[in-house]
Structure 1
Amino acid sequence: MRYLWTKRPRRAFLLLVSIQNKNRRICVPITVWVIEDTIDALQDIACVGEWILRLLGRDRENKRADGYKRTAGPWRQYIEGMPVSSALQAVNGVIRELRLQGRFRMIEVENETIQIVVDLF
C-alpha cells in the first residue's frame, strides 16, 4: 500500500482532442513529446537569431557614415524587452509540467449541438 502513495504517475505522451457534433465525431491525436522537441529546436533557432540581430544592431550603430549614432529600431527594443527564446522556454516549461501530471482531462465543453473534450494520456 505504501508503494501506491509514493509512485509517480506515468508521463503523458498523447494529447487527444475530440470534437463531437450531432452526426460526426472527430478525434485528433497529438504526440506531446514531438511538440516538446519541436519547441526546444525552435528555442535554439530563436536564440541564435536574437544573437545575430544584436550583433547586426551593434555594427549598424557604430558604422554610420556621417558619424552620428542611429537610434535603436523597434525590432531591437522588442528583442531587449521580451526575447522570443524566453517565451518559447516558458511554453516548453508548461508542456513539461503538464506531461509530469500524467493522465487527466484538461478541457470538457458541452453545448446543445457540439461537445469538445481535450484529454492528456
Structure 2
Amino acid sequence: MTVLLAHTPHASAEAAFESALEQAIFRDTDLVLVNATKGETLVDPKYATDEALTEFSQRAAGRGVGLSIERPVDADIAAAVLTVAGRYDTDLIVLGVRHRSAVGKFLLGSVAQRIILDADCPVLAVKADTIGAVG
C-alpha cells in the first residue's frame, strides 16, 4: 500500500507534495510521485525537471519516506496516473488543483476531475497556499 502524488509543476505543487509526504508519514508507507506527460513536445512545462525530482527525493529521504518516481508518457494523463495507482495498490492519491475557466474545462477536460471520479481509492485535492493572497 502506498500514497501516490499526481505531480504537475504549477502553483499547488509544493502544497500537494507536502500533503502527500505528511500522509505517507502518517500512514507509515512509501510515496510514489507520478509526473506524466503527453509527449507532444520536446519541452513540456508539465514535466518536472530532473533537479526538481532529485530535490523531492532528498526531502522525502530526510523525513524517512521512501520515494519512487514514475514518468509515464501517455496521451491520457488521468489514465496514466490511475494505471500507476493500480500497480502500487494505492491507499490515497494526492493532487494539486487550480482554478480554470469554464471554457478551459470544456475545451481541455479536467485531469483532476477524472482522477477524483475514477480512482478506486480516496483522493485528496490540495490547493496552493493562499496565505497572503489578495481577494
Pick the TM interval, shorter chain. Answer: under 0.3
Decide which structure has the larger Cα Rg and report it.
Answer: 1
**Higher helix fraction (1 or 2):** 1
Q: Which has the higher contact order (CA 8 A, sep 6+)?
A: 1
The TM-score normalised by the length of structure 2 is: 0.19
- What's the TM-score once normalised by structure 1's chain length? 0.21
